[in-house]
Chains A and B, each alone.
Chain A
Amino acid sequence: MKGMTIIVKKTTQLIAGIIFLYGIYIIIHGHLTPGGGFAGGVILAGSFILLILANGSDFLNLVREESGSTLYENLSILVFLLLALTGLLAGAHVFFANWLPHGTPGTLVSAGFLPLYNIFVGIEVAASILTIFLALIIFKEEVLR
């Protein structure tokens, strides 16, 4: 697919890194401020989609990109389930037990497992929205070949 004009390309080169950083900020502070995994993941995906739309990409690059994002998506869900299963071994011996030390509320490193769950959910949501976008674009490109 074709990219856009040079003004759009330059602007997105400047902005995409800031959006990526903003997404990571929302994910990591999920247990302190509103947001968390879902909202931060969507913002993260937004930065990637912005880059792809502005610079254009040809078909083979898109397919390679999609296989990468599918891999990240499945891998992060598996790690999430694995973390939930470790609750069976330590702590209260139930699924999803929160057995890391809770720390002082209000600081960044606190609330046990919650920041970890937020991070993996954030990666997963970002990868899955990117996969949806790429799948629809690839379907359109496939016909034009």
Chain B
Amino acid sequence: MIVYLLCFILFLTGLYGVITRRNLIKIAISLSIMEFSSFLFLALIGYVDGGVVPIVDMADPVKTYVDPLPQALVLTAIVIGLATTAMLMAVIIRIYRKYGTFDIREINKLRG
């Protein structure tokens, strides 16, 4: 139970970073911390007591394996997270070119 709680604490750390940090790069890194916590949670769910790595060994095929489906979900989700982070980085670099600063308090032209 304690490992799942630690995953959630990691999520909240990332959320704290997104909310309170002023530098855009730190916000992007905090978003990455949040997404890694959800990957960790997904991978931990598939644990079976006494299970081994889910690779079938031809010599001894009948054993208790750890659930491989969450691991496949995490692989897909990692690639999606890569795409999200790359998109965010591209937008942040363009914002730096236009506004001249990474400070999020300066980027407030749209309001109302």
Q: Do chains A and B touch in the complex (CB under 8 A)?
A: yes
B90 an interface residue at 8 Å Cβ cutoff?
Answer: yes
Shortest beta-carbon distance from A26 to chain B in Å: 13
* B90 & A135 in contact (Cβ 8 Å cutoff): yes
* A136 & B89 in contact (Cβ 8 Å cutoff): yes
The complex places the Cα of A9 from the Cα of B78 at a distance, in Å, of: 32
Shortest beta-carbon distance from B46 to chain A in Å: 14
* Chain A, residue nearest B54 (CB): A34
* B58 & A136 in contact (Cβ 8 Å cutoff): no
A-B contact count (CB 8 A): 21
* A143 & B97 in contact (Cβ 8 Å cutoff): yes
Contacts of A34 in B (CB 8 A): 55
* B90 & A136 in contact (Cβ 8 Å cutoff): yes
A33 and B55 in contact (CB under 8 A), knowing A38-B75, A136-B89, A136-B90? yes
Consensus secondary structure, chain B interface: helix
B62 an interface residue at 8 Å Cβ cutoff?
Answer: no
A101 an interface residue at 8 Å Cβ cutoff?
Answer: no
* B55 & A136 in contact (Cβ 8 Å cutoff): no
Contacts of A135 in B (CB 8 A): 90
The complex places the Cα of A48 from the Cα of B29 at a distance, in Å, of: 25
* A132 & B97 in contact (Cβ 8 Å cutoff): no
* A132 & B55 in contact (Cβ 8 Å cutoff): no
- Which has the most chain B C-beta neighbours within 10 Å: A34, A105, A135, A143? A34
Interface string of B73-111 (1 = CB under 8 A from A): 001001100000010011001100100000000000000
* B86 & A132 in contact (Cβ 8 Å cutoff): yes
Contacts of B86 in A (CB 8 A): 132
B56 an interface residue at 8 Å Cβ cutoff?
Answer: yes
Q: Which 4 A-B pairs have the closest CB atoms?
A: A106-B58, A132-B86, A38-B79, A38-B75
Taking A38-B78, A106-B58, A132-B90 as known contacts, 14 extra A-B pairs with beta carbons closer than 8 A to each other, sorted by chain A number, are: A33-B55, A36-B75, A38-B75, A38-B79, A105-B56, A105-B58, A125-B79, A132-B86, A136-B89, A136-B93, A139-B93, A139-B97, A140-B93, A143-B97
Give me 5 A-to-B residue pairs in the complex whose CB atoms sit less than 8 angstroms apart, sorted by A's number.
Answer: A36-B75, A38-B79, A105-B56, A139-B94, A143-B97
A residues engaging B (CB < 8 A)? 33-34, 36, 38, 105-106, 125, 132, 135-136, 139-140, 143
